[in-house]
Amino acid sequence: MSDTLLSRYARPVPRYTSYPTAPHFHTGIADADYAGWLGTLPAATDLSLYVHVPFCDRLCWFCGCHTKQVLRYDPIAAYLPAVHLEMEQVARLLDGRGGATGLHLGGGSPSMLRPDDLMALARRVRQLFSPRPDFEFSIEIDPNDMTEDRYDAFAAAGVTRISVGVQDFDPVVQQAINRPQSFEQTRAVVEGMRRRGVGSVNLDVLYGLPHQTIASVEATVEQALALAPDRLALFGYAHVPWIKTHQRLIDETRLPDAAERLAQSAAAAARISAAGYVAIGLDHFARPTDRLAVAAGAGRLRRNFQGYTTDQAPALIGLGASSIGSLPQGYVQNITATGEYIRAIKARGLAIARGIALSGEDRMRGWVIERLMCDFAVSIDELRRRFGNAVSPVVNEMACAAQYDADGIVDFDGQTFAITEAGRPYVRSVAAAFDTYLQSGVGRHSVAV
């Protein structure tokens, strides 16, 4: 890919795990709005649950999550009762409506939870939210947290998928991001959970980190593939020190430029594909028989705040500090600071800090952006079937984008607007062309490759 294309398309744009994106949420959405939205969901609505555990026992300098380092368990022990209270309030507002298709524990490091606390949380979710027969339970794991009793508790609690952050196995890179983690530690987690019947393993690998080279990223990918993961995510490091101040501890002079990032991504993707994995969307890979690959092949791939997913639930219930919920009516986000979140939950049962109500145009443009991010293409017939005559401005934008594209990035034949093979590394930039909020200047983003 030429330097000219990089300069045109590798600009900072959102990752589009929602539309509108989080910088455009506002304080005009509050507890009462969320309560009303929950109270009008249809009785048969599928619910997807996300619980945020905003604590780690070490500070990884590359991390972009809402989390804080703790050296004692006391803050976690004080936090979990508030999560239980929030779950109970949400369940009261749902008043028997809906059923849970899955639970995802993210962080932070939810693997820090003590076995009895994890078991209690999983048990309460099942009591309150009527799990569907195919209920999935996934959890993010830091190998440094794992003990034999945690392995046993995760299995007993019904965990069906684990996600392990690898980042990079090179000790030099690990030191530069303050994330020591050996291959042997990672292998122990994968094998330990598989022995206990957990059927799906996802590994996360990063490119674009300090000191990384094409060769070092390829070496990490080879080691990750040796663990035979069911899924593998290949994320580009998002350097946003203006948001995450601890990223200032990373030596920016050691970060690869856009051309090197793209080369690292392409080399890693080629290695993963050569091992028989199916490329999915921008940055995921899965075994051909994995549910993620099957969904992608059938045009049923979705994208939410956890990235690419098979989850078709129209309502995502976010629980815990900073969690984001997504309902047909709009988005809500909880208070970020854990102390303020706990006080709000104790006082009123909910802790909404901000959000946004969706307009008809938001839903239409959000659907277009999601299909581009998932399928690299949009069917005009399907667009019209869903949104009627309101689609005309977007279809005109597609026609103009193709007409003035001198780089072979997109194609439009009147029936399908598609991103070409050459344009796929820049899918975020193509999607950004349909984002009417982006011109407001609200929010700063990481580069698009």
Give span(s): CATH 1.10.10.920, the chain: 360-438
Buried b (16+ CB within 10 A) or exposed e, 124-162: ebbebbebeeebbbbbbbbbbbbeeebbebbeebbbbbb
Amino acid letter at 10? A
CA distance 89 to 104: 19
Q: What pLDDT score does 68 carry?
A: 87
Q: What is the pLDDT of residues 284-293, one digit of tens each?
A: 999 999 999 9
CATH of 360-438, one of 1.10.10.920, 1.20.1090.10, 3.40.50.300, 1.10.10.10: 1.10.10.920
What's the chain's Rg over C-alpha atoms? 21
Q: What pLDDT score does 1 carry?
A: 45
CA distance 305 to 176: 27
* Per-residue three-class SS string for 255-322: CCCHHHHHHHHHHHHHHHHHCCCEEECCCEEECCCCHHHHHHHCCCCEEECCEEECCCCCEEEEECCC
CATH architecture of residue range(s) 22-357: Alpha-Beta Barrel (3.20)
State how far the alpha carbon of 392 is from the alpha carbons of 65, 334, 427, in Å. 38, 36, 22
DSSP assignments along 36-63, one per residue: HHHHTS-TT-EEEEEEEE-EESS--TT-
State how far the alpha carbon of 245 is from the alpha carbons of 24, 61, 135, 352, in Å. 21, 9, 38, 25
Q: Provide the token pair at 272.
A: 């993963």
Low-confidence ranges of the chain (pLDDT < 50): 1
Q: Provide the token pair at 447.
A: 């580069």
CA-wise closest residue to 434 among 370, 374, 369, 359: 369
Q: Are strands 278-280 and 284-286 parallel, antiparallel or unpaired?
A: antiparallel
Amino acid letter at 252? E
Q: What pLDDT score does 447 carry?
A: 57
Buried b (16+ CB within 10 A) or exposed e, 27-37: eebebebbbeb
Burial grade of 330 (CB within 10 A; 0-12, 13-18, 19 or more): buried
Beta-sheet strands, E only, within 179-253: 200-207, 231-236
CB count in 10 Å sphere of residue 176: 21
Q: What pLDDT score does 239 carry?
A: 87
Q: Provide the token pair at 11.
A: 């600009």
DSSP assignments along 125-171, one per residue: HHHHS-EEEEEEEEEEE-GGG--HHHHHHHHHTT--EEEEEEE---H
CA distance 354 to 358: 13
Buried b (16+ CB within 10 A) or exposed e, 283-308: bbbbbeebbbbbbbeeeebbbbbbbb
Q: What pLDDT score does 184 carry?
A: 97
Tell how many helices (H) and how many strands (E) occur in the chain: 15, 19
According to DSSP, residue 388 is labeled G
Q: Provide the token pair at 224.
A: 């990750």
Q: What is the pLDDT of residues 95-115, one digit of tens each?
A: 999 999 999 999 999 999 999
Q: Are strands 131-141 and 55-56 parallel, antiparallel or unpaired?
A: unpaired
**Residue found under tokens 């539309």:** 19
Q: What pLDDT score does 125 carry?
A: 98
Phi and psi at residue 183, to the nearest 5° = -60, -40
According to DSSP, residue 358 is labeled P
Residue 20: asked if its preceding bond is cis (omega within 30°), the reply is yes
Q: What pLDDT score does 442 carry?
A: 59
Give span(s): CATH 3.20.20.70, the chain: 22-357
Does pTM surpass 0.85? yes
Q: What pLDDT score does 131 carry?
A: 97
Amino acid letter at 17? T
